[in-house]
Amino acid sequence: MRNNRKIMIAGNWKEHFTVAQASIYLHRLEEAVQNRQSIEVVLLPNVLTLQPLSVQLDRRKFRLGAQDGYFEDAGAYTGEVSMAMLRDLVHYVLVGHSERRHVFNENDDVAAKKMQAAVRNGIMPILCVGETLQERLAGETNQILHNQLSAGLMNLTAREVSASVIAYEPVWAIGTGEFAKPDQVARATDFIRKQVEHLFGARAATHVRILYGGSVDDHNAGSFLSLDGCDGALVGGASLNYHKFAGIVETAYRVHQERITRR
Ligand code: 13P
């Protein structure tokens, strides 16, 4: 089957920007980022800024995503914001980001419930998977990816998996400046797609988008985006700099144009 997957560039702002700062930043970003219909650009600001940004946002250029969402739609869960509350605001939600797993001790069971809650509420989940340095050095990368994928996707149908996004984010590459080598990314994204095929069939494997995340910037983005099995980037630090983020979107557009001319 032909690869028609749309390249996604997603900016995870993490715990940065107040509402006022986010508004100013978005204004600059909208000037810097070209309108490229063939690239899907997603912004993932903190939950407090989602509402004001949704009003300000140029919907021809950007889509919104949440960094997290709770799996119970409503109830006595102090401090939580549910997928049901996010559904009218966002297209996407991150699930199982390594910072949720490692700083907040969220396990695969929680990720599975959040995946299910996201699709139940019509939000497309971006499931984050990836090994720690210790796990890589111990030769456990594939085992970790297998465990996180099979648990995270457990409650979804093949159709729901097809519409989902998986982000390969090796923990050792996040926020360290030490990005994975393209061949490491290629091996991991190929393995992930094979796992999806094994669990959900060829159609789901052909449609699911697999991103790379971990110290992506405007200089290295091209080396990941030009890999056949890599459908985009999940960008942390560099998404807080509008020059760099706009540069990554332009790189994605160039890669897309090259793919079209090769067909
Ligand atoms: P950095 O791009 O800062 O390494 O962060 C990656 C990430 O965690 C995106 O979700």
Atom of ligand 1 nearest to the CA of 176: 4
User: pTM for the complete prediction?
Assistant: 0.97
Contact 126, 211 (CB under 8 A): yes
pLDDT value of residue 263? 76
Q: To test ligand 1's pocket by mutation, which of 12, 13, 94, 176 has the most ligand atoms within 8 angstroms of CB? A: 12
Q: To test ligand 1's pocket by mutation, which of 128, 169, 218 has the most ligand atoms within 8 angstroms of CB? A: 169
198 is catalytic: no
pLDDT value of residue 125? 98
Helix (H, G, I), strand (E, B) or coil at 40: strand
pLDDT tens across the length of the chain (263 residues): 447 899 999 999 999 999 999 999 999 999 999 999 999 999 999 999 999 999 999 999 999 999 999 999 999 999 999 999 999 999 999 999 999 999 999 999 999 999 999 999 999 999 999 999 999 999 999 999 999 999 999 999 999 999 999 999 999 999 999 999 999 999 999 999 999 999 999 999 999 999 999 999 999 999 999 999 999 999 999 999 999 999 999 999 999 999 888 87
Report the C-alpha gap between 118 and 109 in whole angstroms. 14
Report the C-alpha gap between 84 and 234 in whole angstroms. 24
Map tokens 């912004």 to a residue.
Answer: 43
Amino acid at residue number 217: D
d(CA 15, ligand 1 centre) in Å:
12
213 lines ligand 1 (CB under 6 A): yes
171 lines ligand 1 (CB under 6 A): no
Domains of the chain with bracketed CATH? 7-262 (3.20.20.70)
Atom of ligand 1 nearest to the CA of 237: 3
219 is catalytic: no
d(CA 14, ligand 1 centre) in Å:
9
Atom of ligand 1 nearest to the CA of 234: 9
Q: Where are the alpha helices (DSSP H) in the chain?
A: 19-32, 47-56, 83-86, 98-102, 108-120, 133-137, 141-152, 158-162, 182-200, 202-207, 221-225, 242-262
Atom of ligand 1 nearest to the CA of 216: 2
Q: Of 40, 99, 160, 169, which one is the catalytic site residue?
A: 169
Q: Which of 7, 6, 53 is nearest to 30 (CA)?
A: 53
Residue nearest to atom 1 of ligand 1 (CA): 236
Report the C-alpha gap between 41 and 232 in whole angstroms. 10
Contact 179, 218 (CB under 8 A): no
Report the C-alpha gap between 167 and 230 in whole angstroms. 10
